Amino acid sequence: MSGRAGAAAAGASRPIAVLALQGDFEAHRKKLAAMGLEVFEARRPEELDRASGLVIPGGESTTLWKFFEGEPWEQAFVSFASSGRPILGTCAGAIVLARKVTHPPQRGLGLIDMEIERNAYGRQLDSFVDHVDAPRLGGTLPAVFIRAPRIRSVGPGVEVLATLRGEPVLVRQRNVVAATFHPELTDDTRVHELALSAAIAGAAA
């Protein structure tokens, strides 16, 4: 992309966008800023053009879709993903990235080949904190689950990066990463580092 090349030539790094339509975008923005990264809150689809990476936060996926339907967001996300820039979706953000969404059924962007079930831990386990197994991230990770979805199946192109009791909770397909938990609510930075490494490397260059 010429815009990207232009920014690199000028020595300017591009910030990471946090989608700020709804949900806990502020926690992601603060976390990325605390990691020393340049970050901005995106409220319009065209703002994604100037971003090196994108976070789609948790919140309510049905509400996110209401916003998406009013503006050309879907097109913006699909072209963002196909440009190769990294995307991290957490909880509701993971739900909107999926190919298939159940309980109840809802549209998905299809940027990760997975089937995901909303609010899938039942009322008693509505919200909980646990440690997930993430051998590729150096062991276990603390994870906060809030009315979390469960990933019911993944396609062959999807890597499972962390599991809870054997079930995938952190997955990646090419440059798109989805977590069913909230890595922005703990001090651990490994999920953001892993998902956004391409944007972080660009910023340091």
Residues that bind ligand GLN (CB under 6 A): 58-61, 91-92, 95, 118-119, 146-147
For residue 22, give every residue at least 6 positions away whose Cβ sits within 8 Å of its Cβ, in sequence order, or none. 59, 60, 63, 64, 67
Which of 28, 91, 117, 192 does the annotation list as catalytic? Answer: 91
Nearer of residues 97 and 200 to ligand GLN, judged by Cβ? 97
Q: Would residue 182 show up in a list of annotated catalytic residues for this protein?
A: yes
CB of 116 vs ligand GLN, minimal distance in Å = 9
**What whole-number distance in Å separates Cα of residue 74 and Cα of residue 186?**
29
Which of 28, 117, 184, 192 does the annotation list as catalytic? Answer: 184
CB of 148 vs ligand GLN, minimal distance in Å = 6
**What whole-number distance in Å separates Cα of residue 55 and Cα of residue 178?**
10
**What are the Cα distances from residue 91, in Å, to 24, 68, 203?**
10, 17, 26
CB of 61 vs ligand GLN, minimal distance in Å = 3
Nearer of residues 117 and 172 to ligand GLN, judged by Cβ? 117
Nearest of 149, 156, 12, 10 to residue 89 by alpha carbon:
149
CB of 98 vs ligand GLN, minimal distance in Å = 11
Nearer of residues 116 and 161 to ligand GLN, judged by Cβ? 116
3 residue type, one letter = G
Nearer of residues 119 and 140 to ligand GLN, judged by Cβ? 119
Which of 28, 117, 182, 192 does the annotation list as catalytic? Answer: 182
Spell out a b/e string for 116-151, using b for 16 or more CB atoms within 10 Å of the CB, else e: bbbebbeeeeeeeeeebbbeebeeebebbbbbbbbb
For residue 70, give every residue at least 6 positions away whose Cβ sits within 8 Å of its Cβ, in sequence order, or none. none
Q: Would residue 184 show up in a list of annotated catalytic residues for this protein?
A: yes
Catalytic residues: 91, 182, 184
